[in-house]
Amino acid sequence: MAHAHVYVIATLDTKGAEAAFVCERLRAQGVTLKLVDASCFAPPQATADIPRDALFRTLQTTAAEIAAQGDRGYAVSQAAEAAARLVADAHQRGEVSGVLAIGGSAGTTIGTAAMRALPLGVPKVMVSTLASGNVRPWVGDKDILMLNSVVDIAGLNRISRKILANAAAAMAGMLAQPLAPSSADKPLIAATMFGVTTPCITHARELLEAAGYEVLVFHATGSGGQAMESLIGERVLAGVLDVTTTELADELVGGILSAGPTRLTAAAQAGVPQVVSVGALDMVNFGPRETVPAKFASRRFHVHNATVTLMRTTPHECAQLGAELGRKVAASSAPAAIVLPHQGVSALDRAGQPFDDPVARAAMFEAIRNNHGNVELLELPHHINDPDFAAALVNKLLALISGC
């Protein structure tokens, strides 16, 4: 069996002393490691176990060839791609027990690229000068621990030593206390939820758990949908209950909770049985009311709270969303079904509620009817949060999983 190491990634032309300190702390706690040099310009300040040319060999190039371009941005992007390939290949061989990286914007880009190439559960620690801000571009849909360096990673001092020592201790602790697989682990089902579809998913989860499944609920806030799509791609799920596809609306209209253009594609590609609905496609998400773009001034809004403003999707947008949803599910290589709730798609889309719009619902449903291909389409006389609708979703998914 291959021996696994923690891969420590740093640009050793500027972070050599700091990287060496982290390695010293890891070794003192019994951690075996490989230090990776991700730099290409100035001479390294520490000796790497995987020198820069060995790293860039994964891209059939050398550090000198990259440095000759004279473009730091290009060098960082190449180093990030090379680090991701290096770590992914080593993990396939069973040689990676974790990844720890240190750096500013360049080091964070490189280190987290390698971390995102690994499955969930593999320890990932990024000591970064960027960790106190919006870290979604670097964390993405992975379980990356971002540790704020507080001071710049520019020399060892009483603060940086403590932060780097804590990072090494965190990695050592994660390795020392792994969670062993349990014989009691049940088959997994992923589900998507929003506040306005919570009753549906709560009831569905209870029914699925009673049927012997473990349910992973993802909050459909962009990163949640991305995380679910990533997990589906790892082929560890028995099925997907994608009730809350609201992230499609943010991607189409320009809201703040988009999960990107590949949302609702992983299950179709991976061959995982799925049941899909139209939860919260009546809304696009923005921040505080004053942050909503001026071009939407004439639209219908609902202020959810001081930091969240919801905008009703129009019949035209709903038709576009229905067509997209239908086409994506129609591409499934495994059993799939689309289930429509005729009485409303969210808590706000119900008779007497702010987003009730039968015309918009009708436009969405008609577009789905015209684009679902050979995928089964069920239309029910319920609201999405009715218990009978949740039960119908669960019954259909269980039937698809069992092949009945």
Among 150, 176, 202, the domain boundary falls at: 176
Q: In terms of domains, do 359 and 232 share one?
A: yes
Phi, psi of 204 (to 5 degrees): -60, -40
Strand order through the sheet with 188-193 = 214-219, 188-193, 239-242, 274-276, 336-341, 376-380
Query: Cα–Cα distance between 117 and 101 in angstroms, integer?
Result: 14
Q: In terms of domains, do 316 and 243 share one?
A: yes
* Residue 182 counted as domain residue: no
* Residue 354 counted as domain residue: yes
Q: In terms of domains, do 262 and 300 share one?
A: yes
Q: In terms of domains, do 252 and 390 share one?
A: yes
pLDDT for 404 beyond 90: no
CATH classification at residue 324: 3.40.50.12030
Q: In terms of domains, do 47 and 75 share one?
A: yes
pTM value?
Answer: 0.79
* Residue 108 counted as domain residue: yes
**Residues 233-290 pLDDT 10s:** 888 999 999 999 999 999 999 999 999 999 999 999 999 999 999 999 999 999 999 9
* Residue 358 counted as domain residue: yes
Chain mean position to CA 106: 21
* Residue 227 counted as domain residue: yes
Strands 96-103, 239-242: pairing kind: unpaired
Q: In terms of domains, do 157 and 194 share one?
A: no
On the 0-12 / 13-18 / 19+ scale of CB atoms within 10 A, 1 is exposed
Q: What is the mean pLDDT of residues 164-169?
A: 98
Contact 259, 194 (CB under 8 A): no
Q: In terms of domains, do 149 and 234 share one?
A: no
* Residue 165 counted as domain residue: yes
Q: What is the mean pLDDT of residues 26-53?
A: 97
Q: In terms of domains, do 100 and 218 share one?
A: no
* Residue 181 counted as domain residue: no
Buried b (16+ CB within 10 A) or exposed e, 311-341: bbbbeebbbbbbbbbbbbbbebebbbbbbbb
Mean pLDDT value across the chain:
95
**Residues 49-100 pLDDT 10s:** 999 999 999 999 999 999 999 999 999 999 999 999 999 999 999 999 999 9
Q: Total domain count for the chain?
A: 2
User: Strand pairing partners for 218?
Assistant: 192
Contact 231, 294 (CB under 8 A): no
Strand order through the sheet with 308-312 = 283-286, 308-312, 301-305
Q: What is the mean pLDDT of residues 187-211?
A: 97
Task: Report residue 145 as tokens.
Answer: 């621990």
Tell me how far CA of residue 175 lies from CA of 3, 178, 180, in angstroms.
14, 6, 12
**Residues 311-345 pLDDT 10s:** 999 999 999 999 999 999 999 999 999 999 999 99
Q: In terms of domains, do 332 and 218 share one?
A: yes
Confidence of residue 185 (pLDDT cuts 50, 70, 90): confident
What residue numbers bound the domain in which 154 lies? Answer: 5-176
User: Strand pairing partners for 265?
Assistant: none
Instruction: Find the farthest-apart pair of alpha carbons in the chain and give their distance in angstroms, rounded.
Output: 69
Q: In terms of domains, do 201 and 167 share one?
A: no
Q: In terms of domains, do 346 and 389 share one?
A: yes
Q: In terms of domains, do 368 and 224 share one?
A: yes
**Residues 287-300 pLDDT 10s:** 999 999 999 999 99
Query: Cα–Cα distance between 63 and 78 in angstroms, integer?
Result: 10
Q: What is the pLDDT of residue 184?
A: 66
Q: What is the pLDDT of residue 1?
A: 42
Nearest in space to 223 (alpha carbons), one of 116, 311, 317: 116
* Residue 327 counted as domain residue: yes
pLDDT for 401 beyond 80: yes
CATH classification at residue 141: 3.40.50.12020
Residue 320, classed as helix, strand or coil, is: helix
Contact 322, 363 (CB under 8 A): yes
